[in-house]
Amino acid sequence: MRFRDVKKKQQHKKEKAPTVIYASYPDKIKALITDLFMIYAPILYLIAYVVMDGKEDFLSSQIAPLMGVVLYGVIYALFISKLGETPGKKAYEIKVVDAKTLKNISFFRAFCRFIAFLFSATILIGLILPLYRKDKKALHDILCKTLEIKEKNAH
């Protein structure tokens, strides 16, 4: 084959690939804050005042905050695996998808992504990373091979 023909085939393949618009960093942060208020705060309230005897019991317990984080992680993973988004991400038109297929990820992978997010947030480098990358991936997205894209382009 001539080089010119090979190059034309490569250009046709590139044109067929869907264009992906990565979610902006400020939108990701606003979505996280929205999720904390809509999902995590009610969980903590229920644990403190329904399960336990109030704020003092909650604060003196070591297991209660852990239960709150685990329950939030399970709910987060359910939203991501079933819908590809949480209420906060939906508000800012962000969808979490597999980096290669652009499809929803499994519950297990979504939960692992949540655990990786906790690690990323703890060391801070994982959350600063999107500021220096074209694809705006944080450490937990790199580890779990996911993307946060604008929802209008998700399949």
Query: Is 10 within a domain?
Result: no
What is the rounded distance in angstroms from the CA atom of residue 54 to the CA atom of residue 84? 35
Q: How far is CA 124 from CA 91, 120, 149, in A?
A: 25, 6, 22
13 belongs to a structural domain: no
98 within a domain of the structure (yes/no): yes
- Considering only CA atoms, which of 110, 106, 104, 80 is closest in space to residue 155? 104
- What was the pLDDT predicted at 90? 93
What is the rounded average pLDDT of the residues 26-45? 94
In a domain, 52, yes or no: yes
The domain total for the chain is 1
With cut-offs at 50, 70 and 90, classify the pLDDT of residue 153: low
Does residue 149 lie in a domain region?
Answer: yes
* Banded model confidence at residue 133, pLDDT cuts 50, 70, 90: confident
More confident call, 146 vs 11: 146
Q: Do 149 and 22 form a contact (C-beta atoms < 8 A)?
A: yes
Domain assignment present for 36: yes
d(CA 13, CA 102): 17
Residue 14: inside a domain, yes or no? no
Interhelix angle for 63-83 vs 107-123, to 10°?
A: 130
Q: Which amino acid is at 148?
A: E
With 70 as the cut, is the pLDDT of residue 109 above it?
yes
Residue 68 lies in a domain: yes
Q: Which residue has the higher pLDDT, 7 or 138?
A: 138
Task: Give exposure, 105-118, as e/b (b: 16+ Cβ within 10 Å).
Answer: beeebbbbbbebbe
pLDDT tens track for 62-76: 899 999 999 999 999
Provide the residue range defining the domain that includes 51. 21-153
pLDDT band at 97 (very low <50, low <70, confident <90, very high): very high
